[in-house]
């Protein structure tokens, strides 16, 4: 689904009014357009692979995984592979075990993603974090980028923290401060966060570009 927010959108006006610093970021970026990701095992595999790795290393491993799965990572296509097979792509044993376990879970529960869509943010968090390999960060990524929930604050995320330090250089970047500074974003924390992610992705947070 394609979503577009302009500086005249009700949600963006709320953010600009309630947080002038974020408002300056929003004005630099302008219109925000994005599409939601598809809820799938591939989404979770991507997030697991990316944990504690550089983008370059994670992308290389993810590409190898897609290659051995014939271009699409699904529970069925992962079924023939062992932990050892997945380790050959560059994965750690722990991550390979998580992925094998998730593939088995989704084969046994084919309607799993459909059941998530109708649940509250808290219920989704609770349900996802019961699965091995999925922690609060991954669950929040799912809420923001797949379910398009509007009020999720991903303070655990490294890219979010990078953008926070750039936008609020005089404030120590810790959980307490991030929650306090970002509280005026409610109920549109996810949308605000997308602007900060865009600032990172576009290079705006690099020295000399802001």
DSSP 150: S
C-alpha atoms less than 13 angstroms from C-alpha of 5 in its C-beta half-sphere: 22
Angle at 189 between CA 58 and CA 45, to 5 degrees: 25
The yes-or-no answer on residue 170 being catalytic is no
What distance in Å separates the CA atoms of residue 16 and residue 24, rounded to the nearest whole number?
Answer: 8
* Assigned token pair, 128: 């996802």
Identify the active-site residue in 24, 148, 157, 170.
157
Q: Shortest CA distance to 50 belongs to which of 140, 152, 158, 143?
A: 158
DSSP 72: S
How far from each other are the two terminal CA atoms of the chain, in whole angstroms?
30
Catalytic machinery residues: 157
């Amino acid at each position: 689904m394609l979503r577009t927010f302009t500086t005249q959108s009700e949600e963006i006006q709320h953010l600009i009014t309630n947080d002038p610093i974020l408002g300056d970021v929003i004005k630099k970026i302008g219109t925000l357009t994005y599409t939601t990701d598809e809820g799938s095992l591939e989404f979770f595999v991507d997030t697991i692979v990316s944990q504690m790795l550089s983008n370059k290393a994670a992308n290389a491993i993810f590409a190898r995984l897609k290659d051995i799965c014939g271009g699409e990572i699904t529970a069925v296509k992962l079924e023939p592979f062992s932990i050892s097979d997945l380790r050959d792509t560059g994965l750690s044993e722990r991550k390979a075990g998580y992925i094998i376990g998730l593939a088995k879970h989704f084969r046994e529960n084919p309607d799993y993603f459909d059941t998530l869509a109708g649940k509250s943010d808290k219920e989704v968090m609770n349900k996802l974090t019961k699965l091995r390999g999925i922690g609060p960060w991954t669950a929040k990524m799912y809420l923001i980028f797949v379910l398009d929930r509007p009020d999720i604050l991903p303070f655990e995320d490294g890219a979010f923290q990078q953008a926070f330090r750039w936008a609020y250089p005089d404030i120590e970047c810790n959980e307490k401060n991030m929650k306090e500074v970002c509280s005026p974003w409610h109920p549109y924390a996810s949308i605000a966060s997308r602007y900060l992610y865009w600032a990172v992705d576009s290079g705006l947070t690099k020295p000399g570009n802001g």
